[in-house]
């Protein structure tokens, strides 16, 4: 009985370490010394802080649009790609309160998705110039 509990404890501990490492590894430090770092860190939508550029993703013009006066963005269905499988992209409606209304200092469209048990949702969306 004690041996089974120990195995569960070790497996859970390893799983937690992998999850924690992948969360930390997302910050690649691109803007660590940039004057934009403070601006990225302070971005907020009506849903709360966006966190930073490291948590957001740049979006190509083909992967976002306006429809009926609202934004839509195409993002991966999941953050966990299956080995050898193509990542499935889906269109997600951007809630009005997730849109960042301040001027876009980087020019490119960015999205900060959240992945939960009910699928992806958008925490922050910053439209670009759509050139």
Within a domain: 11 = no
**CA-based Rg of the chain, rounded to a whole angstrom?**
18
Q: How many residues does the chain have?
A: 131
**39 lies in some domain:** yes
- Residue 16 has a pLDDT of 40
Query: 23 lies in a domain?
Result: no
Asked if residue 110 lies in contact with residue 126, where contact means CB atoms within 8 angstroms, the answer is yes
pTM higher than 0.75, yes or no?
Answer: no
Phi, psi of 98 (to 5 degrees): -90, -10
Enclosing domain of residue 90: 33-126
| pLDDT tens string 24-63 | 334 445 556 778 888 888 899 999 998 876 678 899 989 9
Residue 27 in any domain: the answer is: no
Domain count, the chain: 1
The answer to whether residue 9 sits within a structural domain is: no
């Amino acid at each position: 009985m004690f041996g089974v509990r120990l195995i569960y404890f070790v497996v859970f501990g390893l799983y937690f370490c992998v999850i924690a490492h992948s969360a930390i590894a997302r910050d690649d430090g691109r803007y660590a010394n940039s004057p934009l770092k403070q601006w990225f860190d302070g971005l907020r939508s009506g849903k709360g802080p966006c966190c930073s550029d490291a948590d957001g993703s740049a979006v190509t013009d083909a992967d976002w649009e306006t429809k009926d006066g609202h934004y839509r963005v195409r993002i991966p269905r999941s953050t966990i790609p299956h080995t050898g499988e193509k990542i499935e992209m889906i269109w997600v409606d951007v809630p009005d309160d997730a849109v960042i209304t301040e001027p876009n200092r980087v020019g490119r469209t960015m999205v900060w998705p959240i992945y939960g048990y009910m699928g992806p949702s958008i925490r922050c969306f910053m439209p670009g110039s759509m050139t």
